[in-house]
Amino acid sequence: MKFSVVISTYNRLHLLRRAIDSALKQTVPCEVVVADDCSSEETEKYVRSLGGSVVYHRNEVNLGHSATVNAGVEKASGDWIKFLDDDDYLDINCIEKMSQAIALCPDAVICSCIAAQVDADEREISRTPHFGPGLAFYIPQADIHYGMLLELVPFGTPAQVACRRDAFLKTGGWDSQLNTNCDDIDSWIRIAQFGHGVFLNQCLAYRTIWPGAYNQKFSFVQRLQTNILMKEKIYPLVHQKHHSYVPKLENIKNYLKLHWALVAFKKRDLQSFRLMLDSSLFSFSTWKFLLVVTYLRRSKMNSSHIQKVVLIES
């Protein structure tokens, strides 16, 4: 099994250096690919100074995040792709730990780990939740989309995720129409059609939370709209074994409206809150759905409808 770490970048050389360094220092050998979206900084000069240790691709014109990721994967030669944005970085053991878990589940096509959220000074702010049993486990393909629909299977951001290269290419890559606004989640949805998902309860990646991050540019209303779009994409992919109890899509949409309206209210973004106000927010069924999802999340996201098979014991 060969891993390629694909790092997408655009005009953030001061952060890119750290991302590349974290990939080159992995405890097992892996290919490092830098996909540059036509940076105007000295990115090319720096990456080429690293010699053969890094594969470099530069777009001739600025094409956006999704197209840049796709170009990086095309250049990669690994069986598995570890995604990484230039403002994030990996734990030194990331590729080794992922490789060990994936080797125990040959039919896996996607893998995710816990990530720490850090500030600009690399101080830890929080971590993504511990999820499921053992140090590593897998969820069968038939259960993944049902779990994603109810937000009980959190693959997370590119810093957390790796996927099999052939599965990525079968999907046609990242959708540039979504550019940086859930283009990653959309990709995980489509990749998960082709095999099992592996999850590691180990912190193997670091995601920087700072004002310049791409995801900070989207309003709560935009996030709601994109969230609904993702559910619409997931819904028809839910395996038929779950059809007798899967919630109606309309109920899920109403829950999302309520969720994001509450988030906006808590953040004191009253303009967004007013824009998201809807009669569905006041229905008993919507609040009941919110309570059920909240309960499942707080109970380690356990659901009798989602099988979890331990690969590595704690």
pLDDT tens digits along 82-113: 999 999 999 999 999 999 999 999 999 999 99
C-alpha–C-alpha distance, residues 122 and 120, integer Å: 6
Q: What pLDDT is attached to residue 115? A: 97
Q: What pLDDT is attached to residue 219? A: 84
Mean of pLDDT over the chain = 91
pLDDT tens readout for residues 204-261: 999 998 675 555 567 888 888 889 999 999 999 999 999 998 988 998 888 888 888 8
Q: Residue 174's closest CA among 308, 90, 39, 63? A: 63
3 state SS of 304: coil
Q: What pLDDT is attached to residue 257? A: 87
Residue 128 has pLDDT above 90, yes or no: yes
Beta 108-118 vs 124-127: how paired, if at all?
Answer: antiparallel
Residue 225: in which H helix or E strand, if any? helix 220-234
pTM here? 0.90
* Sequence-distant (≥ 6) Cβ neighbours of residue 135 within 8 angstroms: 101, 200, 201, 202, 312, 313, 314
Phi and psi at residue 220, in whole multiples of 5°?
A: -65, -35
Q: What pLDDT is attached to residue 265? A: 86
Can you give 30-58 as a three-state secondary structure string? CEEEEEECCCCCCHHHHHHHCHHHCEEEE
CA distances from 66 to 8, 199, 227, 280 (A): 9, 24, 18, 34
